[in-house]
Amino acid sequence: MHIQIVGVGKLKEAYLVQGIAEYVKRLGPYAKVQIVEVPDERAPESMSAAEEALVKQREGERILAQIKSDAYVVVLALDGKPLSSDELARHVEGLATYGRSHVAFVIGGSLGLAPAVLARAELKLSFGRMTLPHQLMRLVLVEQVYRAFKIIRGEPYHK
């Protein structure tokens, strides 16, 4: 299986970079993992609705340019469907069973995702109602993907 994680912005915090690298390494036996960082759009602290929409549109174009046409797209969104770790594992397993071997997870920037990216999604996934920094969300996501593969394989993993 090919797992792609597309995120807006470059990770700078060493602890996040190291944590993500550790889980990507652990995922090696289960899937090919690609982390793609697309540049974030410069955005002043206060913007009009039109300026915010333009920022999301530009970031969205960069995101969509990285996703293959045959990818199953999962976007992380506050209003998405909440899944347990077991449910996520079963979903990933089902995708593999039915030939959807390329899965792209998308994490938007600080303003969220463009309508075009949301429209491309086949699943909107929520990790809860709390707002987390999008950089931290990459680490949480890659850990949950790793956990999903451990569950699928019936292998032990700390709870």
Positions at the binding site for S-adenosyl-L-methionine: 76, 108, 127-132
Q: How far, in Å, CA of 114 to CA of 25, rounded?
A: 31
Give Dmax over CA atoms of the chain in angstroms: 50
Beta carbons of 55 and 47 less than 8 angstroms apart: yes
Write out the binding residues: 76, 108, 127-132
Task: Please give the single-letter amino acid code of residue 34.
Answer: Q
**Which residue in 97, 80, 78, 99 sits closest to 89, CA to CA?**
97
User: In this structure, how many other beta carbons lie within 10 angstroms of the beta carbon of residue 108?
Assistant: 24
Q: Which residues contact 150 (CB under 8 A, 6 or more apart)?
A: 156, 157
